[in-house]
């Protein structure tokens, strides 16, 4: 899966676009996908500028799959408490 496919899948899950950044923008309170040469980093960027829960992947596909599974799990948890 690439960023374009991930965006489509997140839209299908009805994930608010303000919860993530797929182009590496460092905007607060969101999951960020950042590409640096051959590494793909996924992390939570908080309102104070801290990067938390950082994961590093060797491929775009692995990073995108991780983000998709993260939001899919968040949706499942939210359904339990509705």
pLDDT of 13-26, one tens digit each? 999 999 999 998 88
Element (H, E) at 72: helix 60-80
32 burial class (0-12, 13-18, 19+ CB within 10 angstroms)?
buried
> Can you give the three-state secondary structure of 8-19, one letter per residue?
HHHHHCCCCHHH
pLDDT of 29-69, one tens digit each? 999 999 999 999 999 999 888 888 899 999 999 999 999 99
Residue 55's Cα: distance from chain center in Å? 11
What's the mean pLDDT when you consider all of the chain?
Answer: 93
Q: What is the pLDDT of residue 51?
A: 86
- Look at residue 82 and tell me whether its pLDDT is greater than 80: no
pTM of the model: 0.90
- Separation in Å, CA 67 to CA 8, 19, 20, 82: 13, 11, 9, 23
- Look at residue 6 and tell me whether its pLDDT is greater than 90: yes
Element (H, E) at 67: helix 60-80
């Amino acid at each position: 899966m690439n960023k374009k496919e991930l965006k489509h899948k997140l839209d299908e899950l009805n994930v608010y676009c303000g919860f993530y950044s797929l182009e590496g923008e460092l905007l607060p309170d969101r999951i960020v996908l950042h590409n640096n040469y051959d590494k793909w980093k996924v992390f939570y960027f908080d309102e104070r500028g801290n990067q938390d829960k950082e994961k590093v992947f060797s491929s775009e596909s692995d990073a995108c799959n991780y983000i998709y599974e993260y939001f899919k799990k968040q949706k499942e948890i939210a359904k339990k408490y509705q």
